Structure 1
Amino acid sequence: MALSPGRWVLAGLPTAALACVLGLAFSGAAAPTLIGDAGAVVRWGLPVVTVASHLAAALTLGGLVLLLFVLPRPVTAAVARGLRVRPDGGAWALAARVVSWAGPAWAVLLVVDLVLGYGSVAGRPLGGPGFGVELAYYVTEISTGRTALVTAVLAAAASSACVVVAGYGSAVMAAVAGFAVLIPLATTGHAAGAENHELGMSGLFGHLASASIWVGGLAVLCLVAPRLGKDLRAAVGRYSTVALWAFLGVGISGLAKAWLQLGSLQGVLTDYGLILVAKMVAFAVLGVFGYLHRERTMPKLRADGLPGGPFWRLAGVEVLVMAVATGLAVALGATGPPAPQPTEMGHGPTQMLSQFPVPPEPGVGRWFTQWTPDLLFGGLALVFAVIYLRWVLRLRRRGDQWPATRTASWLLAAGGLAWVTCGGPAVYGRIMFSAHMVQHMTLVTVLPIFFVLAAPVTLAVRALPTRADGSRGPREWLLGLVHSGFARFVGHPVIAAANFVGSVILFYFTPMFELSLATYLGHILMVVYFTLTGYLFVNVLIGIDPGPTRPSNPLRLLLLLATMAFHAFFGIALMSMTSVIAADHFSAPGLPWGVDALADQAAGGEIIWLIGGVPSLVLAVTLALAWSKDDTRTVKRRDRAVDRDDDAELKADNAIPQKMPQDT
């Protein structure tokens, strides 16, 4: 008899709520307080609503990932004739319907969570005298309340996008809006307030995103199981790959959070530590389930419809274990961690501004020995290296070759990204303008050269499998992006060059620079934006990958010389300025080894000349050589044509005057 996997999903909410309640009862986090008790409705209702909110978020985000990367859409008979495998497509529409319900539910639950959250923070029962006025003040004047309000507004926008999902374009917009909701959520919680707040925030965002994709993806897959039909085997295999990456993301981000919150091994023996251990046990069990799926249940799947075999039984139990882990995670969030939370009392101005301990005086060696963990960019650099090497090995296994120089170029770029964002430039860039300029110029002028020369798009197109059923995998999405109108616009030579030079003015002479120094989100946007800006410009000059049409060699050289002149002008402007950019930040630290902020800014201008000039000179020489080689190849082609036809073109040109009428 066929199973109904959706029943396991329906049992997930009460299971998660029960796990959360048991965890709170164990830690005493929901016990009445002697002063300012908000009442049982708030104390117990808040975590239960948070559990429901997390599960709704998982269904929303996990469902959107399935729509974008896993499930094939229904196709017309005309389209189906062009496919090697005609998809069933019924599961895509049902998954879109699940997302259209889960998204609004998530938004409503976040609003309820906001109200209960205020009651918990203020110690006020719901509906007391003046509760509405105080709530309005909370969401407009208090940082925690404003964050909760922003989260709810973003969720409302995401829910609107979820309701209208009808194709890949609308699903992309809904996914972007949905994952954006996690950003303000990542600024709250214990990990985000720890000593290394950047590690805590990136770890919490990664944990929420990975868990939502993993848990929600499996839950939605169970809900749409009756509609999978002959798409079953392909959909399960694709989800398995997504789940593996999500599993790694949950594990790595969870370890980072645990390291911040436990403080020491003794923290494991606290109530917080014991709940954390229970959650880690659930995570390990889920890892075993994933292994059993890959090795035993997936190979036995029927390709013609819903089986009643072991796969869905194991998947159903897996959903319940995931629900338990979700409930325990919420209980952890309500339980005080053993590691003491930092305060600004006793911190010097340097640590208050950078939110990191004061590093030792910079020296040549310390640029490579001083490190600060950045889970986002450090993890991204590692993922870049691993994926590229996997693609190269995939080509070699099937007998294709890939130049070792391109692989070395990519590994240098990935290692450089890790150093710039986690090494000396990141450590000193928070407190010294010159060090920040090392970071900026490396991101925008040096690393893009290695990224471009590695030809990642060409490698991906050759290594990634092609979808036969009309669905979109990484290869299809990559090619769609490369050949899109947006890519053609931002990759146009004039636009890429204008962006390359104009973004510097916009960034350093507007509040955006200070925003990148004061907030981690601003820092993330700075790193991503300038790396992409440099990549687009260098790709115009020496790119190998498919993409926008590249200009002729003379125009490429002209664009490069123009940008070199601009960077030289910007460097001179910095060296001659009599005021400090972002003075509130760079003039305030009072570093123990003594730094003149204005002189350090002038040094930053000299760094622009050095780090910006050397790569530009290399690019100029490369372009000149390429120009020369093109001219040589043109001459050789001309000579071969002359040898073949005895210079018929020249003879035809010489015959033209003879055919023209002669004056008498």
Structure 2
Amino acid sequence: MSQASPPETNAPRRAAGIAPLLIVGGLLAAVVAAALVVLAGGNRYVILGLPSPDAFTQHGLTVVRVLSEIGAVVTVGSLLFAAFLVPPRDTGALDVGGYAALRMAGWGSAAWFVGALLSAPFTAADAVGRPIGDVLPADILITLIGTLSQAKAWLLTAAIALLVLVGTRIVLTWGWTTVLFGLALAGIVPVAVTGHSSSGGQHDLATNSLLLHLLAAALWVGGLVALLAHGRRGHDHLGLAASRFSRIALVCWIVMAGSGVVNALVRLPLSDLFSTSYGLLVVAKIVALLVLGVFGYLQRERGVKGIVERGTGAALLRLAATEVLIMLVTFGIAAGLARTPPPRTAYVEPGRVELQLGYPIDAAPTAMRLIFDVRFDLIFGTLAIVMAALYLRGVFRLRRQDIAWPVGRTIAWLAGCFVILFATSSGFGKYSPAMFSIHMQTHMMLSMLAPVLLVLGGPMTLALRAIKPAGKGAPPGMREWVLAFVHSPVSRALTNPVVALVLFVGSFYGLYLSGLFDSAVPEHWAHLLMNAHFLLVGYIFYWPVLGVDPSPRKLPYLARLGLVFASMPFHAFFGVILMSMQTVVGQQFYRSLALPWNTDLLADQRLGGGIAWASGEIPLLLVLIALLVQWARADDREARRTDRRVDSGDSDDLDAYNAMLKQMADPKP
């Protein structure tokens, strides 16, 4: 991936000083988790009606999960540190601090891989209530893992951790480190979306909140461990890293607190908070989070200020070491909580639809229900609000500097954010998993309408104008990261017209006509993935077409028109295929819901095909209008520039034209 050589350093090698802290904290977390399982969760198998495995299997699963979680957060935090908290060299290669953090990520990913790999057979043994030795024969283990979604998730996590481990051994540049960081974040997702939160009533809210909770925890805990290790090594840029991490930590703490409250309320009524073992564990975790919040505040007020005012990070390192220990104990509480079932009084047998979707649907969709029957999507609803807030912050920053920003772009961006919010958190988002026709309307909004509006908002141009450049010799910041993304090989490959067209149009055929949708539609995580995919491929397609933001590929306007016209027949043809099919896409899942107002699934699918055909043309028409307006304005600007050159007597075109006339007028020899 890189030909750069590892940076050399004469700094004292005290990286090993962090290892005893992690070992002690990890052992403490495992002991806390095992003790809590014994004290609070010993009757979980009776409550859930499951056979009980031996004690070694029960506690072994807890220990390997703690090992995996600690390895994951160390990996994520170290890659975050190497990619964004310390500056790379001018050549793009990692500096000493970044390289050391990358090596630490390698050790973390090794522990993550081992813990995740061991978690698969332990999870299988725990599920069938047998000792771990009884499920280790290959044929039995393969059969069990093939039928248990969480065991498969652990294997997928182990594969991702192994890829990260290999990457940390061969990557030496900042750009590829960011890729590894994204891959490590993706490795947290499989287990989060297949755990106990992914089943039963309200599992959509529980899964979304748990996913946000785990991602925030990994960034916070792992980032703090990496910061502490960097300080103990004695490398430069400790003040810069601490300042940047402090802002990240505050956001992560807010996300963890909010998502934790949502997840607890889904699982437990407030009346059982202090009267049940599960509720007391929730209280213990809340108290731990509050204590961590206090330490985070002290870290910002004393640690960072100490570096700035006195040039020493001693206070920061002392606070960070204590905070890491408390965090790891919190991980132990969380692991014990994950192995403890909610009390019987909190469990209500969900209906058929609620068991599948996470919530009941009691009436047929109407225009009023589709608009006003709100069920907030924690992932995409929150994303839409955050995107709108960050954009407005950039606009206000420009206004404070007396820099004009087109109102139309602001309206377009906010409208795009509203479309995301409306498509995922209104009645459309609620009915979308249950009916193909509603799903197709949501698909059209997320893939063809929202991306057009977002691209017209020009977010990268706004960021480049609103964020101050780092300056010569200063560490790169957000503005430099945006520019690096725009000019990266990944962006250049994705904005290739052929690649963008295949991703944008091919997604329709690949998802719905290959059988992939039939496997994906019963899973909540698959709906999240589909929504994210729709948004991303739509944005990738329209980014070079509309051309408001700088793009790695500057297409002429005629090529942009050709690209838009090339996509239109494929959309229409896809709608026609859906309307003419005699088999139902996702039939088994839709039949299992048995919605009384949706008995004719083929008619609902034909309606969805008609929606794909008709509604797909409206955003494309909007794109054509915007493109023609941009083209006309570009020609007008070019004409004015030419007129100014002619008026000033400095026109190469005019000189060439006059020379041609003179040559034609001269007699031939």
Q: TM-score, normalised by structure 2?
A: 0.86
Counterpart position of 1:289: 295
Report the residue type matching 1:59 in the other structure. V
Q: How does 1:84-103 map to 2 (within 5 A)?
A: 89-103=95-109
Shift of 1:30: 8.0
Contact 1:262 1:268 in 2 (8 A): no
Shift of 1:24: 3.1
Instruction: For 1:357 and 1:658, locate their aligned partners in 2 and report how far apart those are by CA, in whole Å.
Output: 86
Q: Are 1:20 and 2:27 an aligned pair?
A: no
Change (3 A) 1:47 1:302: same
Counterpart position of 1:395: 398
Instruction: For 1:227 and 1:492, locate their aligned partners in 2 and report how far apart those are by CA, in whole Å.
Output: 43
Instruction: For 1:336 and 1:420, locate their aligned partners in 2 and report how far apart those are by CA, in whole Å.
Output: 34
Cα distance per residue 1:65-92 (max 9 Å; x no partner) = 111111234x4xxx59xx9xxx994433
Cα distance per residue 1:27-65 (max 9 Å; x no partner) = 153899899654443343432332233222211111111
Q: Are 1:421 and 2:424 an aligned pair?
A: yes
Report the residue type matching 1:513 in the other structure. F
Counterpart position of 1:242: 248
Q: Any unmatched runs of 5+ in structure 1?
A: none
Shift of 1:152: 3.1
Q: Are 1:317 and 2:301 an aligned pair?
A: no
Instruction: For 2:44 and 2:621, locate their aligned partners in 1 and report how far apart those are by CA, in whole Å.
Output: 67
Instruction: For 2:238 and 2:335, locate their aligned partners in 1 and report how far apart those are by CA, in whole Å.
Output: 33
Counterpart position of 1:334: 339
Shift of 1:204: 2.1
Return the match for 1:146 from 149, 152, 159.
152
Return the match for 2:181 from 143, 155, 175.
175
Instruction: For 2:144 and 2:480, locate their aligned partners in 1 and report how far apart those are by CA, in whole Å.
Output: 46
Instruction: For 2:119 and 2:629, locate their aligned partners in 1 and report how far apart those are by CA, in whole Å.
Output: 63
Return the match for 1:620 from 624, 636, 641.
624
Counterpart position of 2:73: 58
Q: How does 1:93-242 map to 2 (within 5 A)?
A: 93-127=99-133, 134-242=140-248
Contact 1:445 1:534 in 2 (8 A): yes
Shift of 1:446: 1.2
Instruction: For 1:12 and 1:129, locate their aligned partners in 2 and report how far apart those are by CA, in whole Å.
Output: 31
Report the residue type matching 2:504 in the other structure. F
Shift of 1:415: 1.9
The worse-fitting range, judged by mean Cα deviation, of 642-651 and 586-595 is 642-651
Instruction: For 1:495 and 1:121, locate their aligned partners in 2 and report how far apart those are by CA, in whole Å.
Output: 44
Change (3 A) 1:592 1:170: same
Contact 2:375 2:429 in 1 (8 A): yes
Contact 1:215 1:322 in 2 (8 A): yes
Q: Are 1:611 and 2:611 an aligned pair?
A: no
Counterpart position of 2:668: 661
Contact 2:452 2:539 in 1 (8 A): yes
Report the residue type matching 1:262 in the other structure. L
Shift of 1:143: 3.8
Instruction: For 1:446 and 1:88, locate their aligned partners in 2 and report how far apart those are by CA, in whole Å.
Output: 40
Instruction: For 1:117 and 1:584, locate their aligned partners in 2 and report how far apart those are by CA, in whole Å.
Output: 28
Report the residue type matching 2:174 in the other structure. Y
Counterpart position of 1:502: 506
Contact 1:369 1:424 in 2 (8 A): yes
Aligned length in residues? 648
Q: Are 1:271 and 2:286 an aligned pair?
A: no
Q: Any unmatched runs of 5+ in structure 2?
A: 1-11
Contact 1:23 1:331 in 2 (8 A): yes
Shift of 1:400: 3.5
Q: TM-score, normalised by structure 1?
A: 0.87
Counterpart position of 2:584: 580
Counterpart position of 1:47: 62
Q: Are 1:554 and 2:581 an aligned pair?
A: no
Contact 2:485 2:491 in 1 (8 A): yes
The worse-fitting range, judged by mean Cα deviation, of 379-388 and 282-291 is 379-388
Larger RCO (alpha carbons 8 Å, 6+ apart): 1
Instruction: For 2:591 and 2:660, locate their aligned partners in 1 and report how far apart those are by CA, in whole Å.
Output: 72
The worse-fitting range, judged by mean Cα deviation, of 640-649 and 552-561 is 640-649
Counterpart position of 2:85: 70
Counterpart position of 2:525: 521
Counterpart position of 2:535: 531
Cα distance per residue 1:595-647 (max 9 Å; x no partner) = 53333333333323442222322332333334344444455555555555596
Q: Are 1:357 and 2:360 an aligned pair?
A: yes
Report the residue type matching 1:121 in the other structure. A
Change (3 A) 1:50 1:497: closer
Change (3 A) 1:521 1:610: same
Shift of 1:440: 1.3
Q: How does 1:485-500 map to 2 (within 5 A)?
A: 485-500=489-504
Report the residue type matching 2:371 in the other structure. F
Change (3 A) 1:259 1:449: same
Instruction: For 1:383 and 1:401, locate their aligned partners in 2 and report how far apart those are by CA, in whole Å.
Output: 23
Matched residue SS, 1:224: helix
Cα distance per residue 1:537-579 (max 9 Å; x no partner) = 3223322111134433333333333333443343344444444
Percent identity, aligned pairs only, is: 33
Instruction: For 1:490 and 1:136, locate their aligned partners in 2 and report how far apart those are by CA, in whole Å.
Output: 37
Change (3 A) 1:90 1:627: closer
Matched residue SS, 1:375: coil
Report the residue type matching 1:50 in the other structure. R
Instruction: For 2:579 and 2:562, locate their aligned partners in 1 and report how far apart those are by CA, in whole Å.
Output: 26
Instruction: For 2:576 and 2:131, locate their aligned partners in 1 and report how far apart those are by CA, in whole Å.
Output: 62
Contact 1:230 1:303 in 2 (8 A): no
Contact 1:232 1:303 in 2 (8 A): no
The worse-fitting range, judged by mean Cα deviation, of 366-375 and 12-21 is 12-21
Change (3 A) 1:341 1:152: farther
Matched residue SS, 2:367: coil
Instruction: For 1:288 and 1:605, locate their aligned partners in 2 and report how far apart those are by CA, in whole Å.
Output: 54
Shift of 1:284: 0.9
Cα distance per residue 1:464-521 (max 9 Å; x no partner) = 3545667554433322221123322322344433443333222321123323422233
Alpha-carbon RMSD across the aligned residues, in angstroms, is 3.4
Contact 1:229 1:305 in 2 (8 A): no
Q: Are 1:458 and 2:461 an aligned pair?
A: yes
